[in-house]
Amino acid sequence: EIVLTQSPGTLSLSPGERATLSCRASQSVINNYLDWYQQKPGQAPRLLIYGASNRATGVPDRFSGSRSGTDFTLTISRLEPEDLAVYYCQQYGSSGYSFGQGTKLEIK
């Protein structure tokens, strides 16, 4: 089973700043089956990035994803107040799906 470890646990930044969220996989993720979700308080998760670097429909281009080996990164280039949320990475592999523990993004 692939374990996803997200860091940092909490990130506190100001509007306009750049946010970098990390997701490290315990072993290789096949076919770039690594996605990112945004979960705002009281809401269901929303797909942001699929296949490591593809923006989902309607997602602003401030959000981008990248991969380097077993390290995946979600970058939010210019933070806005509505980006307050918990962000999860998720992978699909031979044992099914698994999620990281989440990064909470606070907006100062």
Give the CA distances from residue 19 to residues 3, 48, 99, in Å, rounded to whole numbers and listed in that order. Answer: 23, 15, 20
Does the footprint of another protein cover residue 35 (CB under 8 A)?
A: yes
Please identify, using beta-carbon distances, which residue of 1 and 61 lies nearer to another protein: 1
Does the footprint of another protein cover residue 101 (CB under 8 A)?
A: yes
The window from 7-15, 20-28, 70-78, 98-106 that contacts another protein (CB under 8 A) reads 98-106
Please identify, using beta-carbon distances, which residue of 27 and 54 lies nearer to another protein: 54
Sheet containing 19-25: give its strands across.
4-7, 19-25, 71-76, 63-68
